Every structure is written in C-alpha cells, then in structure tokens.
Structure 1
Amino acid sequence: MRKNDQRIRLTKMLIRRAFLDLLRTKPMQGISIKELCTAAGINRGTFYSHYTDIYDLLEQIEDDMMHDFQEALKPLLDSGEKELTPLKITTGIFQCLKENADICAVTLGAYGDKNFATQLLNIGRENCVESYAKYFAGATPKQIEYYYSFVSSGCIGLLEKWLADGMTCSAEEIAEIAENIMMSGIHFLSDKQ
C-alpha cells in the first residue's frame, strides 16, 4: 500500500509540475490533456485516474494551497498565543508561500487565476484584521481595513520580487523586511544609512 501511495504522490507531483510549467507560458484554455501528459511523462489514463479534467486539476492544486495557507494562519486564531507578533504571523505566511512557490509564481503571472489570489487575500483579511485589532487596540476597524489593504498589496509586491530573485532569502528574512516596512514605513530605508 505504501508503495502505491508514493507512486500516486510522485505522479501527482509530475502532473502538477508539468501543468504549472505550461501555465507559465499559456492560458489554461490553451493546454490540452495530451500536451500535459506528454510534458509530465504519463499517459492519458493515468491523468484521468486522478483528475476529471484540467479544471479539476487546477481546483485540487488550489485547494491544497488554500489548506496550507489556512494552516499557516491558524496561530492568528489562537488567542492563547502570548508571544504572537506580526513578525511571526508574516513569517508563517511567507513560509507557506515559499512552500507553494510554483503556484504563487503562476497565480501572480500573466496567466494566473486572479480569483484564487483574491481568495487568498480575503482569507488573510479575515484573519489579519481580527489579529491586528487585538495587537493595535486603539485603531478603528476602518483604519485596520485600510492598513490591511495597503500591507497586503505591498506584500504581493514583495512576493513577486522574492519569486523573481529565486527566493534566495529565507521566509523569515522577507517577513522581517515586510514587518520593518509595515512598522517603520519610509524610515525602514533611512535606518540603513
């Protein structure tokens, strides 16, 4: 049984990698099952034993990442965590994104699923706004919403740059940069003089 599980994981990984490589160069509607199977080195029957079509494949990949993302955000929901800081939150999120770098690169690319990116931001909004409200007790809900919008857009920019640089920095280093920018604004740069 264990050998079959490993084979299934390997097959799905090959399909995922081939699919995401193809998505970097063309829209999903332009990818055929035959082309995908050739790129993955599998036959059509193998593909159909795991997925009903290309859309099912994308949905399963996104569901897996969504699950990972929600797991990374779980500490935000744990109000018993006394040492929870924005840095720890941001590090967890960037680590999740690093572990799913392939789907992040595609989602943020020209042929990415913008709805999926929006879903991730909305999950982050729901959890981060609640966490920020606890951390910044004097802020109004509207201020926190605006802050989240600003910060999440900036983090998307950092993620794009991090991906373009090959993710050579650790998730913690990027999270620290993000936190310094969030907490210090332009002073983040002036502190470097």
Structure 2
Amino acid sequence: MQKSGNDHRIRVTKLMIRKAFTSLLSKKPIQSISIKELCELAGINRGTFYAHYQDIYALLEEIEEEMYLDFKKALEPLLTGSTMEGNPVEICMEIFAFLKDNSDMCIIMLGDYSDKQFVSKLLGLGKEKCIAIYTKRFPRASLKQIEYFYAFASSGSIGLLRQWLDEGMVSSAEELGRTAKQIMLQGIGFLEQPL
C-alpha cells in the first residue's frame, strides 16, 4: 500500500510543477524561467524538482510527450470509427474538448511563448490522419486539394482556439466544434447565419 501513496504523491508533485511551469510560460519564454522561481511558485524545493527532472527542458519534453500521446489517443476513435468517418464537427469537438480538459497545454501550444516545433508535430499528426480519411471520403479530390484544405482548416482552427483561450474558454467544446464546422462548410455565408 505504501507504493500507492508514493505514486499519488509523485502525481500531485508533478501536477504542481506542471501548473507552476505553464503559469510562468504564459508570461515569459522558457529560457527566462529559472528553477528557483518555478520551485517557489510550485511550493517545492529544488531537490524535489531535480528528483523528477534533469532541467526545465526535460520538464517541457515530458509534458509535450504526454500531450502528444493523449492527443493521438483522443483522435483515434474519431478517425478509425466507422460511424463518424472523419466528420469534421465530431473531430473538432473532440479536439476542443481535449484542449479544454488540458487548458494549461493550450499555453504551451498557443501562447506567446509556445513551442512552434511541438505545434508542427501535432499538426503533422492531424494532417496524416486527415489525408487518410479524406482520401477515402472524397475520392475525386487530389492530394494537393486535401493538403490545401487541411492547411486552411487547421490554421483557422488554431485561430479559433486562440480566441477561445483569450475568452477564458467559456464557450463549450460543442459550440466551438459547430462553429468550426459552419465556417469550414459555409465559408463567408457563416456570417449571415444566426448563432
């Protein structure tokens, strides 16, 4: 039973470190974050930090790896399930719901001091899945058309996410998913429709 208590304590400590880190990262670049200030904000000592991480970059790497795997896991049922077949609304809602549940990760992805390589990695995963699904769903579309659609839709979705983050994520993931779908499917006509 002792091990279970230790596991819980480790999870809580890492959660405090992660929360403090994302809070600092929302205000300044990673290069300007010191271990000392991170530990003070997290309410831990430096020894505790170093028991879990080699440095601040190892912390960021672990957080990003966990997020990448969670993001991939969140996408799998949508992209492999036969009922949805790549429905853009369902995919958008699932992504927005995932990000709302992991709102501190939005800081890492979309904040002023975001890791652009990590965002590219996530977009690459989305592109790979989108091409696989849309090639089947739209057999007459060329690969170039699908890639252009993905570039347009993903950039627009990032803009929606930034706006949502700026507003404090008060709208539901479902509302944002429907909005993204309407904008993607109706284009400028979306502005003529009541919300």
Instruction: Please list, as runs of the form range in 1=range in 2, the aligned pairs for 1:33-182 lying within 5 A after superposition.
Output: 33-78=35-80, 80-84=81-85, 85-182=87-184
1:183 to 177, 182, 185: 185
TM-score (norm 1): 0.94
5+ long unaligned stretches in structure 2: none
Contact 2:127 2:150 in 1 (8 A): yes
Cα drift, residue 138 of structure 1 = 2.2
Q: Deviations over 1:104-150 (max 9, x none)?
A: 12331221111111111111111112112222232111111000000
Cα drift, residue 153 of structure 1 = 0.4
Cα drift, residue 76 of structure 1 = 4.5
Contact 1:76 1:131 in 2 (8 A): no
Moved more, 42-51 or 92-101: 92-101
Q: Which residue of 1 aligns with 2:15?
A: 13
Q: Deviations over 1:130-175 (max 9, x none)?
A: 1122222321111110000000000000000011111111111111
Cα drift, residue 39 of structure 1 = 0.9
Contact 1:76 1:127 in 2 (8 A): no
Contact 1:132 1:144 in 2 (8 A): yes
Q: How large is the Cα RMSD of the aligned pairs?
A: 1.5
SS at match of 1:178: helix
SS at match of 2:54: coil
Cα drift, residue 103 of structure 1 = 1.8
Contact 2:78 2:84 in 1 (8 A): no
Contact 1:76 1:128 in 2 (8 A): no
Cα drift, residue 77 of structure 1 = 4.2
Q: Which residue of 2 aligns with 1:25?
A: 27
SS at match of 1:4: helix
Contact 2:78 2:90 in 1 (8 A): no
Q: How many residues align?
A: 192
Aligned residue type for 2:71:
F
Distance 1:191 1:77 in 2: 29
Contact 1:75 1:81 in 2 (8 A): no
SS at match of 2:6: helix
Contact 2:25 2:107 in 1 (8 A): no
Contact 1:37 1:44 in 2 (8 A): yes
